[in-house]
């Protein structure tokens, strides 16, 4: 009995011993607290407080802060061995702006954000009529909010560059009365991209219809008058042309002595381009500001632009004093602001209201090349009586003037020439005729109205249609002028002139 009891105790102890080995507790892992401090930022995602087992890495949250860019963490958290605090680092953002100063952005951005010590990348810019000189201040590393301003210098154009720039905007204006007969010819230019033309009022006065011809020989109808002023002598004309190239209008102060250029259809010669200087920058008459210039202008130039050396329009060529030397005037472009453009007028009503377009003034010459050439100059025909010395019309050096003679009412016209020195005077004559009838003559008279007979070698003292040179398209006589003074060119037809429409002609003089 005792033996059995002992064996049982041994078995129990063995079982207990084995069971105790299986129930030993496993060692608990060690964890640490990791805290992420935002330093004024705010959490976008992730946890700011994390329990991380020893040796493991924490996962950083995503932060943001207005006006700053995240620059990493102060402290390591890739292998945690103790409670850890890490703090966010921030770099202040600097705003960099680029003031393009009236220019146009080609590429890049006008505003960007950088951090202290960075150098900005400037955008690419351009400005029509200007050369880019760089940025002010010069580009460098930035330490604070900075504005860089573009520097520009106006590009001075060559004369041929000015002509090229203007020619795309230029037009020749032909006006007609209520019967469709020609009234006159002038110049104008586009002031917007929708076919609006600026010219002189006196170019359009009395026009019941009109058309413009661009310098690339395209024709468009004038539909209405958008605004005008007889006192200022400006007229804003709406045409059927579309997608037009406007001129650049000057908005500064004109300076006496600066270079200027004119372009227009001088006595019908399309695209006549000339230069000069500003004699007086501002000459006010009857509350209208004019610019006095030495650049020559003639009939047909009226309404054309006066431009500076940058190709900007500073005025509208308007008139000249024939009793002086180089006394030419343009209405300042500033006067355009005074034109009321709130109410448009249909052109026929405009023509009837302004009073010149109700009567036919002459018959259009349609036959023969010479007749067409004379008609082209019809804008400069002088209709008032000029058949006496004291009513003579002035001829300027190199200018052609058109006229009309009628055997019943006006068989002769007189033009005055002022010679400032002795020299040679060439007198030109061209006329329209029918068949082989050469019935128009031009004579040179002295200041008393007596014929001047002394001529240069090989030239007649009197020119007539029979002297017409088919190749040169005009007749000419050259006179020796021994004394400077006033002379007259007398153009006439006989009283038995056989054609009812009379005679249209061109005459002119050139002296040297």
Indicate the residue among 40, 69, 92 that finishes a domain: 92
For the question of whether the overall pTM of this predicted structure is more than 0.85, the answer is no
In a domain, 19, yes or no: no
In a domain, 241, yes or no: yes
My answer on whether 165 and 141 are in the same domain is no
| Per-residue pLDDT reduced to its tens digit, 336-353 | 999 999 989 999 999 988
My answer on whether 395 and 468 are in the same domain is yes
| Per-residue pLDDT reduced to its tens digit, 103-143 | 999 999 999 989 888 899 999 999 988 899 999 999 999 98
My answer on whether 392 and 347 are in the same domain is no
My answer on whether 205 and 346 are in the same domain is yes
C-alpha–C-alpha distance, residues 211 and 173, integer Å: 6
Q: Determine what percent of the chain is predicted with pLDDT higher than 90.
A: 47
Number of structural domains the chain divides into: 4
* The pLDDT value given to residue 378: 44
In a domain, 471, yes or no: yes
Residue 25 has pLDDT above 80, yes or no: no
In a domain, 9, yes or no: no
- 3-state SS, residue 84: strand
444 phi/psi in degrees, rounded to 5: -100, 130
* The pLDDT value given to residue 182: 76
Question: Do residues 199 and 316 lie in contact, with contact meaning Cβ atoms separated by under 8 Å?
Answer: yes
My answer on whether 146 and 161 are in the same domain is no
Which of 200-204, 356-360, 369-373 is predicted with the least confidence, judged by mean pLDDT? 356-360
In a domain, 6, yes or no: no
My answer on whether 293 and 391 are in the same domain is no
In the numeric block, which tokens belong to residue 391?
A: 């009513």
> Which residues span the domain enclosing 477?
369-511
C-alpha–C-alpha distance, residues 117 and 351, integer Å: 70
* The pLDDT value given to residue 397: 74
My answer on whether 314 and 341 are in the same domain is yes
In a domain, 131, yes or no: yes
In a domain, 20, yes or no: no
- 3-state SS, residue 352: helix
Residue 457 has pLDDT above 60, yes or no: no
My answer on whether 252 and 351 are in the same domain is yes
Indicate the residue among 361, 392, 415 that finishes a domain: 361
* The pLDDT value given to residue 266: 62
Question: Do residues 114 and 94 lie in contact, with contact meaning Cβ atoms separated by under 8 Å?
Answer: yes
């Amino acid at each position: 009995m005792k033996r059995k009891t002992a064996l049982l105790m041994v078995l129990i102890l063995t079982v207990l011993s084995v069971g105790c080995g299986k129930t030993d507790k496993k060692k608990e892992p060690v964890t640490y607290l990791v805290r992420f401090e935002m330093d004024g930022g705010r959490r976008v995602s992730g946890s700011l407080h994390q329990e991380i087992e020893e040796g493991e890495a924490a996962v950083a949250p995503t932060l943001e802060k207005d006006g700053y860019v995240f620059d990493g963490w102060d402290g390591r958290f890739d292998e945690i061995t103790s409670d850890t605090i890490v703090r966010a680092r921030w770099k202040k953002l600097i705003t960099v702006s680029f003031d393009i100063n009236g220019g146009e952005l080609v590429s890049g951005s006008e505003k960007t954000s950088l951090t202290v010590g960075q150098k900005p990348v400037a955008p690419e810019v351009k400005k029509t009529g200007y050369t880019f000189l760089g940025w002010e201040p010069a580009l460098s590393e930035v330490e604070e909010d900075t504005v860089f301003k573009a520097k520009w210098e106006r590009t001075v154009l060559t004369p041929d560059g000015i002509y090229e720039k203007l020619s795309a905007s230029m037009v020749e204006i032909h006006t007609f009365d209520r019967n469709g007969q020609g009234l006159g010819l002038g110049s104008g230019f586009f002031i917007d991209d929708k076919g609006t033309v600026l010219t002189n009022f006196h170019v359009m006065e009395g026009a019941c219809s009109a058309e413009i011809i661009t310098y690339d020989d395209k024709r468009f109808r004038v539909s209405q008058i958008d605004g005008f002023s007889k006192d200022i002598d400006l007229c804003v004309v709406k045409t059927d042309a579309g997608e037009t190239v406007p001129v650049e209008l000057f908005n500064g102060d004109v300076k006496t002595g600066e270079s200027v250029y004119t372009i227009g259809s001088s006595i019908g010669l399309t695209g006549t381009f000339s230069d000069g200087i500003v004699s007086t920058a501002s000459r006010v008459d009857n509350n209208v500001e004019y610019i006095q210039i030495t650049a020559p202008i003639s009939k047909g130039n009226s309404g054309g632009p006066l431009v500076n050396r940058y190709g900007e329009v500073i005025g509208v060529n308007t008139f000249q004093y024939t009793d002086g030397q180089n006394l030419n005037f343009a209405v300042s472009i500033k006067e355009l602001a005074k034109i009321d453009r709130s109410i448009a007028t249909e052109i026929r009503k405009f023509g009837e209201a302004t009073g010149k377009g109700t009567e036919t003034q002459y018959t259009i010459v349609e036959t023969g090349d010479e007749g067409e050439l004379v008609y082209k100059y019809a804008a400069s025909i002088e209709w008032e009586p000029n058949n006496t010395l004291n009513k003579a019309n002035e001829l300027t050096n190199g200018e052609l003037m058109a006229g009309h003679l009628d055997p019943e009412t006006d068989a002769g016209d007189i033009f005055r020439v002022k010679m400032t020195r002795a020299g040679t005077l060439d007198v030109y004559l061209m006329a329209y005729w029918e068949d082989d009838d050469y019935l128009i003559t031009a004579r040179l008279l002295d200041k008393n109205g007596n014929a001047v007979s002394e001529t240069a070698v090989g030239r007649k003292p009197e020119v007539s249609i029979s002297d017409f040179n088919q190749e040169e398209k005009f007749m000419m006589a050259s006179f020796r002028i021994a004394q400077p003074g006033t002379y007259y060119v007398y153009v006439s037809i006989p009283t038995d002139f056989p054609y009812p429409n009379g005679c249209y002609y061109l005459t002119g003089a050139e002296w040297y």
